[in-house]
Structure 1
Amino acid sequence: MASDSPGRDNLEDSLSIALEIRCLRNEVNALRTEVREFREELMGRVDALEVRVTTVEEKIEQTVSPRLAELETTVGELKLQLNEREQESLLNDVQVSGVPETKGENTTQLLNVLAIKLGVSLDERDVVFVRRVGNVLRDRVEGEDASRHRIIVARLARRTTRDSILNAARVRRNLCTADIELPGASQRIYVNERLTKSNRQLFYMTRQAATRCGWKYSWTRDGRILARKEEGKSVVQVRMQSDIERFFPVK
């Protein structure tokens, strides 16, 4: 009997180890199943969250974007209206550029001499004020010559007087500093209606675009920026930068 005991013990030990291994395998399989189910549940939650995020983003896009676009349009219209109101306040003004600035000069006398050369008679009651304006470094508009002297601005009491000066200046386009007996090398004098800074910039951009696209005419009238491709074609008005992109598309 004693000789059978070690074999029986070994068999029992083997069975015990086999049962433990089976139990471990079962636990591992159960753990794998649990992990797989957890992973599937987690991925399902992630997918659901992504769907919710997408839904929220779409709602924001549908509600906020139109409002933002509407606000941008409103702001643009308000800026345009403010610029137009400012331009209206300048409708009695003319600006003179190309006249050298000297210390102690009398701008009122310069205007009177210029008007006489243009064939326009000015009474002191016709002029509200005359002065140099702007700063070359601070107020220069892109495309303008920074070396030029500050412009002379004159406000007339009546629109008809302003129009007379502008019409006479259009007829006599070659007026220069020698004509009003200013010292130094003779240079061209330009007499134009006065524009707001925004309109000056817009007019410069319009001239550049018109030249690029082969349009013959671009000018201003009563603060409005106008252009025409050639004789017989319709006149267009440029009120904002988007008009330039519309009338003069880049090819």
Structure 2
Amino acid sequence: MYQPSRSNSTTESESVGKVSNSLERLDDRVKTLEHEINNLKKLQDEVSKMNEDMQEKEQWARANNVEIKGIPMKSSENLYELVSQVSQVIGCQVRREDINYIARVPNLHEKTVKNIIMAFNNRFTKENYIAASRRHGSLSLKDIGYHGDGKIYVNDHLTLHNKALLREAKLLAKEKNCKYIWTRHCKILARKTDTSPIFRIKVNQDLLKI
């Protein structure tokens, strides 16, 4: 019967030892990579949370603001008189002392038109104004004495992030037959059917719920 020589046994043992050491080193390396991946995931989660908190604070800073879209600019216009005309139409009178400031701001999607931002001193006054506009329904330029059939929109003053989320949510709602997408108290809300629960859309991942 053939018996391996002592030298062959030693060589095989050394080979097994080398393989075993290599496997141990590989296992250590895999564990190190897993640890690094877990740390990276934790860091990504922290960054996402920081971004979400920053967006919340930025939106909160606009909580008293109303954005009025669709009124063409005129030279030497009086913005207070303009918003007073809108206020009369929707049935929600606003006093000068209720307003912190009124200004035109650039519109990213319509370079020739600037929306009107009206900042109230009191959030409840602002919410009443938004509610009155929604009760009134469709508002047009003719309602305030302008020519043309253009529409006027009175909405919460959303951040750029939330405006983009709202646009995307409305597009997805049409594709997926989600019945309701709306804003309330500067929050984007959705409801798939008349009887389904309401959910909030805060970040891009929430769009998957639609």
Normalising by structure 1, report the TM-score.
0.71
| Aligned-partner Cα distance in 2 for 1:203–1:189 | 18
* Contact 1:99–1:177 (Cα < 8 Å) also in 2: yes
Describe the shift of the 1:204–1:49 C-alpha distance in structure 2 as closer, same or farther (beyond 3 A): farther
Say which SS state the counterpart of residue 189 (structure 1) adopts: strand
For 2:138, the equivalent position in structure 1 comes to 174
For 1:197, the equivalent position in structure 2 comes to 160
What code does the residue aligned with 2:141 have?
A: T
Aligned residue among 64, 74, 80 for 1:108: 80
Say which SS state the counterpart of residue 195 (structure 1) adopts: coil
What code does the residue aligned with 2:204 have?
A: Q
Q: Would you say 1:76 and 2:48 are equivalent positions?
A: yes
More helix by share: 1
| Aligned-partner Cα distance in 2 for 1:51–1:103 | 78
- 1:45-60 equivalences in 2 (<5 Å): 51=23, 54-55=26-27, 57-60=29-32
For 1:214, the equivalent position in structure 2 comes to 177
Q: Would you say 1:233 and 2:203 are equivalent positions?
A: no
After TM superposition, the structure 1 stretch with the greater mean CA deviation from structure 2, 145-154 or 195-204, is 145-154
After superposition, the CA RMSD in angstroms is 2.3
| Aligned-partner Cα distance in 1 for 2:206–2:111 | 31
Describe the shift of the 1:118–1:67 C-alpha distance in structure 2 as closer, same or farther (beyond 3 A): same
Say which SS state the counterpart of residue 120 (structure 1) adopts: coil
For 2:122, the equivalent position in structure 1 comes to 158
What code does the residue aligned with 1:220 have?
A: T
What code does the residue aligned with 1:59 have?
A: K
1:19-67 CA distance string (max 9 Å, x none): xxxxxxxxxxxxxxxxxxxxxxxx99x9789657734541332211000
Q: Would you say 1:66 and 2:66 are equivalent positions?
A: no
| Aligned-partner Cα distance in 1 for 2:84–2:19 | 81
After TM superposition, the structure 1 stretch with the greater mean CA deviation from structure 2, 145-154 or 171-180, is 145-154
| Aligned-partner Cα distance in 2 for 1:219–1:87 | 16
What code does the residue aligned with 2:170 have?
A: R
Say which SS state the counterpart of residue 102 (structure 1) adopts: coil
Matched residues, number: 197
| Aligned-pair CA distance for 1:207 | 1.2
After TM superposition, the structure 1 stretch with the greater mean CA deviation from structure 2, 55-64 or 223-232, is 55-64
* Contact 1:225–1:237 (Cα < 8 Å) also in 2: yes
More strand by share: 2
For 1:23, the equivalent position in structure 2 comes to none
Q: Would you say 1:124 and 2:96 are equivalent positions?
A: yes
> Unpaired runs of 5+ in structure 2?
1-14
| Aligned-partner Cα distance in 2 for 1:206–1:118 | 27
